[in-house]
Amino acid sequence: MLVLLVEDNRLLAKNIIHYLELNEIECDYAETLAQAEQAIFARTFDAIILDLNLPDGDGITACKKWKEQRIISPIIMLTARSNLQDRLSGFEVGADDYLVKPFAMAELVARLRVVSQRRPSPKLLSIGELELDFAGHHAHRQGQLLTLSRTGWQILTLLARRSPEIVEREEIERLLWPDSLPDSDSLRSHIHLLRKIVDKPFEQKLIHTIRGVGLCLKVDTDEA
C-alpha cells in the first residue's frame, strides 16, 4: 500500500511514517498543500492522510478541490477538532474517514486498510482523442502512446482534471515548484515540449493558451 501523509508537525509525521513502515505501508510525505498537490499529480496513492490545519491552507478546502479534480484516492482527515460539525464538514466535501488527535497508530493503520479497499477502479479520462490512465500513468492519442516526462505528465493531468477550465500559469508553477519558483523560461520550455508531444503530430490542437491568463485543455469546436 502506498499512502501520502500531509502533516506539518514533523515529529508526529516522523512517528506516523515509522509506524506505517513497520506495518509494510509505504509513505510519501508532504509538509504543505503545495507539496501534496505536486505528489498527487505525480503518483496515484491508495490513501491520503490529510491534516486539517496546514501552513498554506486548510484540509477541508483541499479535500473539496481534489475531489472536484477527480482525485480518486480515499482521504482520512486528521484534526484536533472533535466536535460533530467539524466531522460533518469533512464528510460533506468528500472525506472518507476522520481521526481526532491524539489517536492510536494501530487504529490509523486499520482505517487505512479499510478505506484503501473502497477506492474505485481507476477509469480513463477522455478529452477528444486524448485518453489518460491515471493508475498506469499513461496517455494515448489516437491510440498512440505519448512519451511524457514526469513534469509533462503533471502538467497534462492538471489540465485534464480541470478541463475545459483555464488553469492559471501561477497555479501550474506552484504545482511544479512548490518551494521556490524558477525563471519564467522553465515553464515555457516544459509547455513547449508538451505541445510538441500532445498536439504537433495531430491535426487538432488540444492545449490552448489564454493570453495573459494560462492554459486550458479542450476540444475546440471551431476547429472540429
Q: What is the chain's pLDDT, residue by residue, as a tens digit (224 residues)?
A: 899 999 999 999 999 999 999 999 999 999 999 999 888 887 788 899 999 989 999 999 999 988 888 788 899 999 887 777 777 887 888 888 989 888 999 999 999 988 887 665 556 788 999 999 887 788 999 999 999 998 999 899 889 988 888 999 888 888 888 777 676 678 889 999 999 999 999 999 999 999 888 999 998 866 54
Q: Taking the domain 2-116, which CATH number applies? A: 3.40.50.2300
Residue 32 contacts residue 59 (beta carbons within 8 Å): no
Please state which of the four CATH numbers 1.10.10.10, 1.10.10.60, 1.10.645.10, 1.10.460.10 is assigned to the domain occupying 124-217. Answer: 1.10.10.10
Q: If 0-12 CB within 10 Å is exposed, 13-18 middle and 19+ buried, where does residue 69 land? A: middle
Q: Where do you find CATH 3.40.50.2300 in the chain?
A: 2-116
Q: Where do you find CATH 1.10.10.10 in the chain?
A: 124-217
CA dihedral 112, 113, 114, 120 (to 10 degrees): 90
Q: What is the pLDDT of residue 224?
A: 43
